[in-house]
Each structure stands twice: as C-alpha cells, then as structure tokens.
Structure 1
Amino acid sequence: MNKLSCLAVALLCAAAPSFAATEGFPSDATLPRASELASRLTGKAFVAKTKNGELGRHEFNDMGSFVVANGNGQRAIGNWRAEDGKFCSRVKGRERNLRCSDARIHQDRLLVRANKGELITFEPR
C-alpha cells in the first residue's frame, strides 16, 4: 500500500498497523455529541498522531469535506461527518467505503480509534 493510501485510510480510522493491539480510551475521556465533535473539527487543521509517530495534516472544512497531506506532498480528499461518539469519513474514489470509528475527547484533544484498535490523536495546528 503506498503512503497516500495509508494516510487516507488513517483518516478513515482504518490504518492502524497490523500489529497494533486494541488501545483503551483514557478513563476520563468524554463521549462527544455530534454537534460538539463537528464544532471541534469544522474549519480547523490538525496533525494526526499515533504512538508510533505522525500520520499527516488533516484539514476539515465547513462543507463536510477534508484534505489530508503527508510530509511527502501526497494528498487525499473526501467527506466526513460527526455522529454521537463517532467520526465517519469516506475518501474520494472509495465512495462505498464509509467508515465510522469511536471518538472521545481527552485533555482538549480528539481521540479516534482505528479499526484495528490503535488510537489516533488529532492535535490542533
């Protein structure tokens, strides 16, 4: 899988390395309502990180679309939406693959669980 595909899939919360064990959310993390999650993302940019390092820059616009870029200049675009306690996204070109993953707020940062269990932290830029 090329780096752009990995980056895009990470945004979909499905790009955890195959060796990742399920990580638990911190016990004091809160479950965001859809409106809170949307307001935290809309019109903002983040750096997504795992325990193993940075995945790339994510920008969410107010029209429900996103752009993901990594340090190599590779980009992916798609659509996103918020649900109560869930972050959902779909990469352009993979319209059938809407992915929704658990989301929590911890210490003013968004945490999203990848499909294979790894937590992705969205840190504001």
Structure 2
Amino acid sequence: MKNAAMVLAATVFSMGSAFAQNTFPTEYPAEAKPVAGSEISNRLTGKVFTVKSATSGDWRMEFDKRGYAFVDTDSGYRDNGPWRIEGEKWCANMGKTGDNCAELYAAGETLYYKRAKNGEVVSMTMR
C-alpha cells in the first residue's frame, strides 16, 4: 500500500511538471531567417499585422509612418508608443509595457519576433 501511494504521488508530480512546461514556441521556425536592420523599416513601416500568440490570442499591430506602433486586442487591451530600429532589432517604447527590443525573423511573408514578456515567439502576418 505504501509503495502504491509513492507511485501515485510520483505520477501526479510528473504530470504537474509536464503541465508547468512552456506550451508556446520559444525558438524561431527553422525556415525563418533574421531580417537585417537595414531591411526592418521596409518590412514594418506603414503596415498593419495580425499577431498570433499561443498565450494571448490574436491582436492587431500597426507601425505607422510617423514612427508610432499601436496594439489592439480582442479583449480590449490597447497600447501605443514610438518605435525605432537599433542595430539589428526593432524596438518600441509602449506606454504600458515599456521599452523593449526584439530581432525580427522572416519566412516568406510571415514575420516573427520573441516577446520580452515571456520569451514566446509570435508570428505576424500582414492584414
């Protein structure tokens, strides 16, 4: 009986550990290649994207020609702030989430970046 209880406890613990692991991608897709800093502006400026996240659903992200980025989610969350390019990264200083930078990767027309919040790699497709 004692052995059965230990086996049950070990099984429950391992199941809990499995559920605690990341359930979202933290690595860029193998086919995605880094976008050079000199090309980032061409890929983002004046465009509106649908961002797909495993942890936060989908949201709209716009990079306007005046240098501002806007985020709107279906749940009503909104944020905005100036965006810029620093070396090989795009950066945004959003009012609520602060100043963050990320590399931009591309596979065809789909872009990818890693969220500073949790390390999740999200995809961006033009609307």
| Per-residue deviation, 1:121 | 0.7
Q: Is structure 2 residue 49 aligned with structure 1 residue 56?
A: no
Paired residue for 1:123?
A: 125
Amino acid at match of 1:121: S
CA, structure 1 residues 42+101, in 2 after alignment: closer, same or farther (shift >3 Å)?
same
Give secondary structure in 2 for the equivalent of 1:98. strand
CA RMSD of aligned residues (A): 2.4
Paired residue for 2:50?
A: 47
Partners of 1:44 and 1:83 in 2: CA distance: 19
| Per-residue deviation, 1:53 | 6.0
Amino acid at match of 1:26: P
Q: How does the TM-score come out when normalised to structure 1?
A: 0.70
User: Is contact 1:33–1:83 with CA below 8 Å preserved after alignment?
Assistant: no
User: Is contact 2:47–2:63 with CA below 8 Å preserved after alignment?
Assistant: yes
Q: Is structure 2 residue 111 aligned with structure 1 residue 114?
A: no
Paired residue for 1:88?
A: 91
Q: How does the TM-score come out when normalised to structure 2?
A: 0.69
Higher relative CO (Cα under 8 Å, sequence separation at least 6) belongs to 1
CA, structure 1 residues 72+40, in 2 after alignment: closer, same or farther (shift >3 Å)?
same
Amino acid at match of 1:98: D
Structure 1: stretches of 5+ with no match in the other structure? 1-17
User: Which has the higher Rg, Structure 1 or Structure 2?
Assistant: 2
Count of aligned positions: 106
CA, structure 1 residues 72+22, in 2 after alignment: closer, same or farther (shift >3 Å)?
closer
Write the mapping of 1:10-89 to structure 2, written as runs, cut at 5 A: 20=22, 23-52=26-55, 54-89=57-92
